Structure 1
C-alpha cells in the first residue's frame, strides 16, 4: 500500500533488545518514535522519545493505580491522593517540618475518629476541633510551593488526572530544566506529606458538585454497574461518593500511597528535545534510591460474566435525552482491542462509517457515535445515540442495532476497511508531531500492560485484517448480551445538598519560602535563547496568476499537507454563513451523492471543511500530499456545484431547532450564553443567528449559492505541505475556481463588548447545587502593545495557576471552589477594548464568601515580591522555549496584522520583562481593576441564594433563558 511505504520511509529501523549504552534499554524495530525503554534496578520504567522540533519536553509520571484499587469504604481515595501530591514534602511546602508534624499527626487521629461519628452535633464539634488544629499546622504550611517550583523552571500545563486504572502527573518543561524537574519529582514521589487537608478536601467536594450536573458521568457509572456488577469498574466511581468524601481517612490514604507509589509500579514517560543518555542518568540520580517493593499487589475480583440478554437502567438529569449501549470486551492489552479500534472506525469515523452514512448524514437521528473504551481489566465498546424531535430512545436503539447487524452481515463497502486503515495511519503520522500524544501512548502501554512491541506492530496487524475476519469477530462478540442506559430528562432526586463546613481561612503565607524552593529558583542552567518570528523571512508570500496572495511554508518532514482559502469576513458580515457551511455536510453534487462525496474523501485519506469565525472564514483541505490534486478537485466540485436537497434542509432545520432546545438544558451551555450576553448585550455571537421562522422559510438554494459565491470575494491561500512553491501555485491556478475580478469583503456589524459604568447583578436561572459566576468589568480602554508585558505578569501573578493570588485565597486558604481564576484580557482586534473578569464555580451557600474574597483581593492586591519575581521568571522561560512552527507562523502573522502590528509581540514582552517592578503591577491593577464597577453574571437557582446580600451590592436584573440564548 502507498501509505505503508510512506510510513516505512519515515522510520529509522532499530534493533530488538538491549543496546550498547551506560544504561541498557529496549527498542522495537520499525518504531517511528524510536522509543527507548529503560528499566532501572528498582523497577522504575522510563520511556523516552526524542523530538527536537522545539526545546521543550512533555513529561508524564504514571502510577499503575486508580479508583479500581480504592478501598470500598473510602471511594475517591486515589483521586484525592492525586490532589494531595501537590502539597509538598518535608523539603518544600513547609517552613518547619519538625514543628509541623505533631499537628499533622493530630489531624490524622481526629479524622479517624470523626469518620466513625454520626451524630450531627458531635460531628460539628469534632470538625470545629479539626479546623482549630489545622490553624496551628497552617502556621508552617507554605501553600502551592510545588507550583512555585514548576513556575520557576518555566513549566506549563501543570496538572494530574485519575481514572479507573491510572493516576498520572503532567508537566511540560523547557529542555534545559530536566535536572531541576527530576530533583523535584524525585522528592515528591518518595516523600509526600499530607497537609492542607480539610481545605483541599472541600475543593474536591466542589469538584463532586460540578459532576452532579454532568449526566454523561452518570451514564458511564450506570453502564459500569450493568457490565461489571462485582468489580470496582461498576461498584464505585473515581470521584467517590458524597458520604466518603465527607468522611475521609488520612490513614487509608497513607497506606495506599505506601503500597502503590513505589518505583516498580511507576513509569516516567517523556517526549521532546533531549539526549536520552543524559536524561536517564539524571532520573537515576534522583529516583534510583527509591526503594522497590516486593509487595505490590492489586485487589482481585470475580470474573465478570457476560450478559446474556439486553439489560437496562435509566438515568435522570436535566441534560438532553440520549441512549448508550455497551458490550463487555477483553482487557486493553488484548489484541482484540486492535479489532475494536478498527470496528469503531467502520461504524463511526466522522466521514464514511456506517453510522455516518446511514444515520448521521441522512439525519435519521440527531447523532450516532461508536468508540472503544479500553481499561486494564476489561474494555467497553460503547455506542451512543441522540433522538430527533419526537423520536423515542428505543427507535434510536433500533437504528443503531440495525447498523450493528450490517456490520455482522458484512453489509458495507469492500473499500471501507482499507480506507479505515489508511486514515488510522494518517492520524498516527499527525500524532508524531505532538509530544503529548507520544508520551500518552507510553502511559497507556504501561498502565494497560501492553508490550510496546505489540503497540508498534499494531498497524501491520491491522493492515492484514480482512473483511471476513471483521464480520466473524462482530458475530462472536456483538451479541444480545449488552447493557443499555436510557438517559431521560427530569429532576434527579438522588442529589443531596450538604451545607458548607465552618472553615477558618488558613494563612496563605505568601511571604514564606522554603530553602528548597530558593535553591531551585536560583539554580543556574544553560539558558535557552528565544526565537521570535520574522514575518519577512519565516514564510514565503507569493501570488497566483489571478493575484491571490499565497502564504507558503514547505513541509520537509513528511508527505502531509494542509491548505486553506482564507477570507477576511465571517458571521458578522452574514449570520447565515455558519448554517450554510453546516448544510453542506449533507449535500452531494450534480455528479456525486452526498454519501459518495464522503466516501471518496475518506478513501483519499483527505478531508475538507468550511469554518466560519467572527470576522474570518476558511475552506480547508488536508491529508495525504500525494492525493492533494484529486482531493482539491473534489472539494472545488462540492463547493461550486453542490446540489440542493430540500428534504435534507428540512431535516437539518429540525435538528438545529432541537439542538437549540437541548442547549438550554445544559448548565455549561447556559453559563456560556449568560457570559456572552452579559459581555456583549443582545447583539452577540450566540444570538446573531436566524430565528426559527427564518430557518424554516429560507430557500436552501440561497445557502448553496452563498458558499459558491465565495470565489468572487478577495481571499488568500495558506499552505503547509510537500509541494514546492512553484508546484503549489500551479495547482491553485489549475484547480481553484476564482472570478476574474474579486470583490472586497462585505461589511459587517461589529460585535462590541459593553462597558460597565456601575455595579449590576444579572441572574439567569438554573436549578443546581452550585453557581457559575463571572464578575465582568470594561471601561472601553483600548489595547496598547506597550502594556502587554504588564498584562502577562499580572495575569500570572494574580489569576493564573496554583501559585496565583486567586487560587491561593479562594481554594487553598478557604476551600471555596474547585475552579477559580481571573484574567485581564486584551483583544484580538485593534479596535476592540481590554476587559477584566473573574470566574468561579462554587456551592450555592458559598457565593457571598466568594464575592467578598474576590472583591478584597481586587481592591487591595496582595503584594509578595518573591511571587512577583517568580511570575516574571516563569514567563521569560516559557517564551524562551516556545517555538511557533508550521502554519502557526502564518496565523501568527495574520493575528498580528489584525491587532495593527507587524512584529512578533512576544519579542516586546520578553524585552520589557526584566525592568518590570512589583510597583508597576500594583499600579496596573489599581488603575484597571481596583474599586471598579462590576457586572456580576450569576447562573443559579435564586431560591437557594442569599438574594438579600446580593441586593446590598447592586440592583438585580433577572434575565431569562430565552434572553441569553435569543431563542
Structure 2
C-alpha cells in the first residue's frame, strides 16, 4: 500500500526550468502555495513561495541540528550557539579583529581549564581571570551590531529558536532588502565569531531560571525521558543542565558549528513579495562559496524499546496539579503521521473532539486537551488533563483513557472524521494566507526529511481515511504502551540556588560602527512606497437597516469570512456578560443538545465566540463563507433558545472556583495580577470579578436573558468576507431577527482609572522562585497627544524596544543581568486615559538591586548616540513603508483610531515626522517624561531571598498578599 502511495506522489513531482527560469527547481503539481525548491551546487536548499499581499518577506534559515546533537558532556550547546550567532563575525561586531583574536583564544583556553575545576575558591579565581581577559577583549567589541544591521534594513521579529532537531534563524524583511539580508546572513553563517561569551552565558542562565518555574517544561522533560530512555530526546534537554550551563566549552561549540553549520545541512525558507529567479541568484551570489560538510548524516541511535506496560513518573512544582499521557510513534516523515494528526484532532480540536464534548463540555474535569508532536526521529501524541476540586489525578487518567477506548470501538459520530478533515483543509487554506506559516511548513519538511510532494498530498490522503482504518490503527498502537506524568504540587527539591557571578560590565561602545555596517547603511535600494490606511477608501460604512450600521471590507482572495457584532459596553458596565458567555458554552437549546450545537458548528467549518472586554462586547463568527448563513442561524438559535441547566451551572461555578485557586499557583498569572494592581489599584481589569458566593446565588436564567436581549442594544456589524454588501444584508435579514433591532442605549461603563505616581513606592507580592518579575511604573496623568506620537515612537525604538535599544544593551549585553529586559512609553488606548511609562525585567533574586540601579542610571541620563538614533529612525521608516494593513485588520484599525478620538492612520503622521526628529528631540522627551521621576516598583518574588534593606532605600514597601492582588 505504501509503495502505491509513494509512486502516485512521486508522479506529481516535476523538475523544471519553467517560465523562463535559468535555475532548476522542483515543484509539485496542484500545490496551492506554488512552492519552488532549489538546490545549489554546495547542497544548500532553498524553498520559495510568492505572496504579494505586502512588500515584505518572511525568512527562516533552518539548520538541521538541535539539542539532539549536543555532546553529552556539554548539553545546552546548540542553544548556546544560537545566542552566539548574534555576536558578529570578523567583519562586524568588532573594531579590530586581529587585535581581538588573541584574547578570544585565551578566553577559550581558560574556559576549558575552568570546567575541569571543582574547588569553589579555585573556580572563583579562574572566573575572575576570565572576566578580566573578557574586559580586554571587549575593548574591541561592538555589541549588537547584528541587530543594528537588521534595524538598518527594516527587519522585524529578529529572533531564533532551538529545539530537539533544528536551530532556526528568523527575520521578516522588506522586499527591497534581499541583497543586504543575504550578504549579512552569508557572512554570519560562514564566519561566526564567539565573543561576549560570559555575559551572554549569564543571559542563557537567566532563561534557564525562568524555565524552573514552568511546570510544563518539567512535564515534557519527564515524558521524554520515559518514552526515549536511550535517545537524546529523553536523555538531554534543549536548555541543558545546570551543571553544564555553568561549565561550558567554547571548543565544543566551535566543533559543533564546523560540523553542522554547513550548506548541505541548511535550508533557506522564504515566502513573500519577490521574483524567485532573482532571489536564487542573490542567494547563490553570497552563499555559493560556502563549502559543504563532509558528513552531515544524523546520528543513528538504537531503537527505543516498546513499552509493554504503563509507566508512571512524577514531577513536583508550585503550579496546580495536572497530568500528561504520552504515546510514541514513528518519525514525522512517516505516513503514520497523517493518522496521528487526524486522531489528535478527533480527540481534541477545541470544539467537537471527544475530549471537547465528553469531558470539557460535560465538565468532568477542569480541562483536557491533546497535541501531536512530530519530530525527526520519532513523534508523540500527548493528552493532558487538570482535575476539578476533589478529583484525583488517577481519575483524570481514567477519563482520558476512556476516550481512547471510544476510538477503538467506533463509539463516536460518523460526522466526526469528515468534519476533522474539512477543518484541517480550512486550517491549511488559512495558513496559505500567512508568509510565516508557509515558511514554517518548509522548515518542518526540510528538518524532518519529508518530501514536499508528501506535504502537498496530505489533505487528499486524509480525505481518504475511513472510520474502520482509524479503529484498526488505535487498536494496534494505543495499548498499554503509554507514559503517565503526574504533576504534583509542592516545592521542587531539585532546584538549586546559584549565586550571581562576579561580572564586570563590558563597554557598550555604542558609538563605534564597523565598515561592514556603514556599507549596508550606504547601500542604495529601490524605495518602497508606503501605503497607509485611508478609512474613507479602504473601509465601507454601510448598514443592514436603519438601525444597524456596518463596517465592511470585501475578501477577494478566498472563501473565508470573519464577522462580529460589536456592542460599545463591556464588563466595566456589567460583569455578568462574561460569565453568561462562558455558561452558554455548556448549554443546548430546546431542540439541540450542547454536543449537537458544537458538532454542527464544526461540521460547517465555522466557529463562534463571545468576547467581553472592559469597554466592548463582540459576538464573532468565522469560517467558510459558503456556510455563513447556516452558522448565523445556528448562533442565533443558540443565543435565543439556550436552555437553562441548573446542574451545569452549579458545576460551572465549581469549576470557576477551582480555576481561580489554580491561577494563584502560577508565577506569570501572579505577576499579571500584580502589574494590573500597580497601574490601576484594587479596581482593575484583572481583579474585576464576581465573587464565587455571589456567582453561586445568581439565577442562570438571568445570565441567559442578558445574551438573548443583546439585540435590543445599539451595535455594529463588522464584516470581512467574499459577500457583497447586499448579499451580507440579505443573509443577516434572512437568518436572524436583526430587522427588529432596537436603538436602546447601551449600559454605561464605569472606567478603570490609572493611578498617578506622585511618590516612590514599592508594591511587593510573594512568589517563591529563584527569580523575580519587576516593573517600574510612572504615570503623571498626561493624556495622549497625537502630535507627540512620532517622538514617542522613536523614543521607544531607540531606548527600550528591540535588541539594539539602550535597555537591552545595558541590562543584558553589558551586564548579563537578565534574559528579558525592556522599557516602553505606552500611549493611552482611549482618549480619556493617560499615557504611562514602564520598565520590565525578569532576573535572578540577588540581581534585583543591580537592575534597579542600572535602570535609574539610564533613565536619568539616557546614553547618547547619534548613530544609534539614526539606525532607529531608518528602521522605523523602512518598517512603516513596507507595512500593510489589510483584511479585518482595517476594521480593527478604525475602531482603535476612533477610541483615541482620531479618524486617520496615525502611522502616516509618524512616517512623515520621524525623518526630521533629532537626538535632541528624543533626549528632551526622555528628560521631561522619564528622568528623575517618582516610580512605583512592582515586584513579585520571595522576600526572604531579596535584599530588603537596599530595596527600602527607594521608597516605602507595601506588602500585598496573594489574596489582595487576585481579589479572592
- Using the size of structure 2 for normalisation, the TM-score is 0.98
- Post-superposition shift, 1:735? 2.2
- Post-superposition shift, 1:14? 8.7
Q: Is the CA contact (8 Å cut-off) linking 1:546 and 1:740 kept in structure 2?
A: no
> Quick one: distance in 1 between partners of 2:682 and 2:517?
49
Deviations 1:112-142 (A, max 9, x none): 0000000000000000000000000000000
Q: Is the CA contact (8 Å cut-off) linking 2:629 and 2:732 kept in structure 1?
A: no
1:945 aligns to what? Answer: 946
1:695 aligns to what? Answer: 695
Residue 203 (structure 1) aligned with residue 203 (structure 2): yes
1:924 aligns to what? Answer: 925
2:561 aligns to what? Answer: 561
Unmatched runs of 5 consecutive residues or more in structure 1: 1-12
SS of the residue 2:537 aligns to:
coil
Structure-to-structure mapping, 1:507-906, within 5 angstroms: 507-738=507-738, 739-906=740-907
Residue 915 (structure 1) aligned with residue 916 (structure 2): yes
SS of the residue 1:73 aligns to:
coil
1:219 aligns to what? Answer: 219
> Quick one: distance in 1 between partners of 2:586 and 2:666?
27
Deviations 1:443-502 (A, max 9, x none): 000000000000000011000000000000000100101111000100100000000000
1:7 aligns to what? Answer: none
1:252 aligns to what? Answer: 252
Q: Is the CA contact (8 Å cut-off) linking 2:325 and 2:485 kept in structure 1?
A: yes
SS of the residue 1:823 aligns to:
strand
Q: Is the CA contact (8 Å cut-off) linking 1:531 and 1:883 kept in structure 2?
A: yes
> Quick one: distance in 2 between partners of 1:421 and 1:15?
24
> Quick one: distance in 2 between partners of 1:604 and 1:845?
55
> Quick one: distance in 1 between partners of 2:630 and 2:668?
42
> Quick one: distance in 1 between partners of 2:685 and 2:889?
25
Deviations 1:706-726 (A, max 9, x none): 111110000010111111111
1:371 aligns to what? Answer: 371
SS of the residue 2:673 aligns to:
helix
2:160 aligns to what? Answer: 160
> Quick one: distance in 1 between partners of 2:653 and 2:410?
33
> Quick one: distance in 1 between partners of 2:563 and 2:761?
47
- Post-superposition shift, 1:734? 2.1
2:3 aligns to what? Answer: none
Residue 957 (structure 1) aligned with residue 954 (structure 2): no
SS of the residue 1:72 aligns to:
coil
> Quick one: distance in 2 between partners of 1:812 and 1:903?
39
Using a 3 Å threshold, how does the CA distance of structure 1 residues 515 and 412 change in structure 2: closer, same or farther?
same
1:16 aligns to what? Answer: 14
> Quick one: distance in 2 between partners of 1:516 and 1:722?
48
SS of the residue 1:16 aligns to:
strand
> Quick one: distance in 2 between partners of 1:48 and 1:634?
41
1:305 aligns to what? Answer: 305
Q: Is the CA contact (8 Å cut-off) linking 1:550 and 1:718 kept in structure 2?
A: yes
Q: Is the CA contact (8 Å cut-off) linking 1:14 and 1:34 kept in structure 2?
A: no
Residue 240 (structure 1) aligned with residue 231 (structure 2): no
- Of residues 407-416 and 438-447 in structure 1, the stretch that sits farther from structure 2 once superposed is 407-416
Q: Is the CA contact (8 Å cut-off) linking 2:711 and 2:741 kept in structure 1?
A: no
> Quick one: distance in 2 between partners of 1:127 and 1:891?
53
- Post-superposition shift, 1:748? 1.3
1:4 aligns to what? Answer: none
Q: After the TM superposition, which segments of 4 or more aligned residues of structure 1 sit over 6 Å from their partners? A: none
- Of residues 204-213 and 362-371 in structure 1, the stretch that sits farther from structure 2 once superposed is 362-371
SS of the residue 1:665 aligns to:
coil
SS of the residue 2:536 aligns to:
coil
2:176 aligns to what? Answer: 176
- Post-superposition shift, 1:741? 3.0
Q: Would you say how many aligned residue pairs link Structure 1 and Structure 2?
A: 955
- Post-superposition shift, 1:942? 0.6
> Quick one: distance in 1 between partners of 2:365 and 2:89?
54
> Quick one: distance in 2 between partners of 1:714 and 1:598?
28
- Of residues 427-436 and 83-92 in structure 1, the stretch that sits farther from structure 2 once superposed is 427-436
> Quick one: distance in 2 between partners of 1:271 and 1:852?
44
> Quick one: distance in 1 between partners of 2:676 and 2:415?
46
- Post-superposition shift, 1:19? 2.5
Deviations 1:342-389 (A, max 9, x none): 001111111111111111100001111111111100111111011110
> Quick one: distance in 2 between partners of 1:156 and 1:591?
51
- Post-superposition shift, 1:737? 2.2
1:3 aligns to what? Answer: none
Unmatched runs of 5 consecutive residues or more in structure 2: 1-10
> Quick one: distance in 2 between partners of 1:910 and 1:346?
48
Q: Is the CA contact (8 Å cut-off) linking 1:14 and 1:31 kept in structure 2?
A: no
Deviations 1:509-565 (A, max 9, x none): 001010000111111100001101111111211112242101111111111111111
1:419 aligns to what? Answer: 419
Q: Is the CA contact (8 Å cut-off) linking 1:545 and 1:733 kept in structure 2?
A: no
Using a 3 Å threshold, how does the CA distance of structure 1 residues 122 and 740 change in structure 2: closer, same or farther?
closer
Q: Is the CA contact (8 Å cut-off) linking 1:54 and 1:881 kept in structure 2?
A: yes
> Quick one: distance in 1 between partners of 2:90 and 2:495?
40
Q: Is the CA contact (8 Å cut-off) linking 1:322 and 1:387 kept in structure 2?
A: yes
2:96 aligns to what? Answer: 96
> Quick one: distance in 1 between partners of 2:965 and 2:314?
31
Deviations 1:811-867 (A, max 9, x none): 000000000000000011011000000000000000000000000000000000000
Deviations 1:39-70 (A, max 9, x none): 00000000000000000000000000000000
SS of the residue 1:49 aligns to:
strand
Q: Is the CA contact (8 Å cut-off) linking 2:547 and 2:743 kept in structure 1?
A: no
SS of the residue 1:542 aligns to:
strand
Structure-to-structure mapping, 1:24-423, within 5 angstroms: 24-423=24-423
> Quick one: distance in 1 between partners of 2:562 and 2:714?
20
- Post-superposition shift, 1:15? 6.5
> Quick one: distance in 2 between partners of 1:576 and 1:287?
60
- Post-superposition shift, 1:733? 1.9
> Quick one: distance in 2 between partners of 1:372 and 1:306?
19
> Quick one: distance in 1 between partners of 2:485 and 2:159?
32
SS of the residue 2:610 aligns to:
strand
> Quick one: distance in 2 between partners of 1:302 and 1:147?
42
> Quick one: distance in 2 between partners of 1:524 and 1:596?
61
Using a 3 Å threshold, how does the CA distance of structure 1 residues 356 and 98 change in structure 2: closer, same or farther?
same
Deviations 1:603-627 (A, max 9, x none): 1111111111111111111111111
> Quick one: distance in 1 between partners of 2:842 and 2:675?
13
Deviations 1:899-922 (A, max 9, x none): 000111011101111110000000
Q: Is the CA contact (8 Å cut-off) linking 1:629 and 1:731 kept in structure 2?
A: yes
CA RMSD, Structure 1 to Structure 2 (Å): 0.9
> Quick one: distance in 2 between partners of 1:670 and 1:540?
43
